[in-house]
A and B are shown apart, each in its own frame.
Chain A
Amino acid sequence: MSRKIFTALAALSIVAAPAAAQQKVKIGIITTQSGPGAVLGREIVDGFNLGIKHSGGRLGGAETEVIVGDEQFKPEVGKALAERMVQRDRVDIVTGVIWSNILLALADTVLRDRRGVFLINSNAGPSELAGKNCHPNFFSVSWQNDNTHEAMGQHVQSSGVKRAYIMAPNYAAGKDALTGFKRFYKGQVVAEIYTQLGQTDYAAEIATLRAARPEGTYIFYPGGMGIAFIRQYAQAGLTQQIPLYGPSFSLDQTILPGIGDAALGVFASTFWSERLQNSANQRFVQDYEATYNRIPSPFAAQSYDTALLIDSALKAVGGDISKKDAFRNAVRAANFNSVRGPFKFNRNHFPIQNYYLTQIVKDEKGRLVNDLRGVIFSSHEDAYVKDCKMKW
């Protein structure tokens, strides 16, 4: 067995050696590794590592070094990490930022560096960077923040819900979420409720909701808030009476195990699902489960795709990241097999991609998964691209 591996390694090094003997790429992942958000950071890091593994251990044939920093869910810590990685560690690419406020705090530090560092992000996609502040060295491999909510707005609209009750935490991303939803939902919004960030008791809000008799409820509650809300909604006996809709962030594999059966039947909108049938995704989901012993979340899928995208672009420049313009053009071409199926970059370096409807069901092993129910948007682009002056 070990001899087989040795032979394989020897063969690999012979193949790789002439093309990229001296090439090296250094990647900094700035993500959350402590506190309640640590679960997301783990998905980001694990997804990226699996992407490197599937690229033969060397992205684009270049020797790949990854350093990971914990922003502790604090923008100032994220910015300090970015400074350290860009100036001292001299990374070529920064990725992995989960939160929009942290991304906005550190984007300038990365993008203004004179070496021309790339920020190829795998989660947060704030409108600021999609619109007039779009940047040649910034790419979002995930989505623009509003997109997933827009998709559910469209679905709730087209499924004939005339009176919708919409709720989110009272912070920037919560307001963006409901704005995105309303951009495509044209029925009556019975109430638009903003609750406290981090709140986990929704008994009072749910009693008020029941009394308002809506035909559907849309929520954006990431993390523990989502677990608490969806369970209490079910405990109040509402899941069967008033359909519950949410973005994938409230219903992915980082929180479904915590919700339990209360999530059954809830609808989610997403750009990707663990049940999406394409060969790249099937390989990803299978190997991810085998390696980490859990079903991947969208965060892992985004990060995996980011690694594959970097791999494809580096391949195009012979593993030489110092060819900045050629590398940028290769990233723009997005010549890789995304786990989400069709993928291309818009003019503002945000994806043009499909958005799907899923419903929470149990798989063969009795685990909760996002089962596909259809396509909501095909080749959807964000609303801010018109403000971006970048041309290519």
Chain B
Amino acid sequence: MTILLFIEQVINGLQLGVMLFLMAAGLTLVFGIMNMVNLAHGSLYMMGAFYCATLAQWTGSFFVAALFALPAAALTGVAVELIALRTLYSRDHLDQVLATFGLILFFNELVRVVWGPVAIFMDIPPLLSGGVEIVPGAPYPVFRLFVIVVGIAVAVFLWWLITRTRLGMLIRAGATNREMIGALGVDIKLLYTLVFALGAALAGLAGLMAGPLYVVEIGMGDAVLIKTFVVIVIGGIGSIRGAFIAALVVGVVDTFGRVLPAQVGLPNALSEMAIYILMAAVLFWRPRGLFAPGS
């Protein structure tokens, strides 16, 4: 592997990591603050992509579509929280897993009924199409660089939200000790709904940026969900900072894990195992993840 290819693969890894971060940020907050395992997070990613793809077809503009798709994803999240998840907070994790798995099936069927079974087309906006030669001779898609920029902007926004605002203070307090902030008179139900809406919007954002790059189809969130769980476990459940660092690490490790074994003649299974080996190693040294709140 030449140095130029190495640089390109690091960028690829960062771009994947940023996508994972957008998913992980919401999931880790919901898990950390509400102690809720939400498998349907991938469905919100899918809904974000489908909303945006449809709106982009109607309006002809990716950016206008994204502007409306984000609140739509957040509202979908609020609806899910109010109707289905609210009753599950006091139940144990197995009940939550079963119920939210049911939600995955529900959303997949919903998409099939509304949009039909065929994958739908979503183009890269003309402004962000084409490539730039970061590495000579290998034009890198501008849209992927855009994803990296958006992801870092979201990370900065979340850092500000969590450390500099009252809402962030409540979120941090909730992640450390849920019962206590309830006992102190904070409207915990409203806080939960707000956090869930934020997580849903971030998942929707990841989904609508995944649309032009990957594929907008039924079940598109299922594969990304598994990697997202790996990220939040490595980062420490409830920690945004942990999610950010772990997402970038997982993105880079997964990227190199996918291409290196084949080049040096190692078995292919290593590619699929790379991030799980990483997770096992982290959990061995830090059983609660790298940046678990309250640890």
Contacts and interface: CB of A to CB of B under 8 A. Distances in A.
A45 B118 CA distance: 15
B274 to A, nearest CB: 11
B141 A235 contact: yes
A39 interface: yes
Contacts of B116: 39
Given A34-B109, A39-B118, A258-B120, A204 B272 contact: no
Nearest to A211: B5
Interface in A228-264: 228, 231-232, 235-237, 254-255, 257-260
Contacts of A35: 108, 218-219
A38 B117 CA distance: 6
A141 to B, nearest CB: 23
Interface residues of B, number: 46
Given A35-B108, A207-B5, A258 B217 contact: yes
B285 to A, nearest CB: 27
Interface stretch (A22-30, A154-162, A194-202, A350-358): A194-202
Interface stretch (B68-76, B77-85, B255-263): B255-263
B276 interface: no
B61 interface: no
Contact of B259 (A199, A201, A204, A225): A204
Given A34-B112, A257-B118, A207 B268 contact: no
Size category of the A interface is: 35 or more
Given A205-B258, A255-B119, A260-B121, A34 B108 contact: yes
Interface stretch (B10-18, B24-32, B197-205, B239-247): B10-18
A20 B13 CA distance: 66
A224 B143 contact: no
Interface string B178-217: 0000000000000000000000000000000010011111
A195 to B, nearest CB: 7
B215 A200 contact: yes
Given A196-B271, A200-B223, A203-B16, A257 B217 contact: no
B131 interface: yes
A188 interface: no
Contacts of A39: 116-119
Given A211-B5, A258-B121, A232 B217 contact: no
Contacts of B214: 200-201, 224, 228
Nearest to A257: B121
Nearest to B129: A235
A104 B124 CA distance: 41
Given A170-B268, A224-B119, A258-B121, A203 B216 contact: no
27 contacts: A36-B217, A42-B117, A170-B268, A201-B16, A201-B214, A203-B15, A204-B9, A204-B12, A204-B13, A205-B258, A207-B138, A207-B259, A208-B5, A210-B138, A223-B119, A223-B217, A224-B214, A224-B215, A232-B141, A236-B131, A236-B138, A236-B141, A237-B131, A237-B139, A254-B118, A257-B121, A258-B119
Interface of A: 34-36, 38-39, 41-42, 170, 191, 193-196, 198-201, 203-205, 207-208, 210-211, 223-225, 227-228, 231-232, 235-237, 254-255, 257-260
Given A36-B219, A195-B271, 5 more contacts: A38-B117, A199-B223, A207-B5, A208-B263, A260-B123
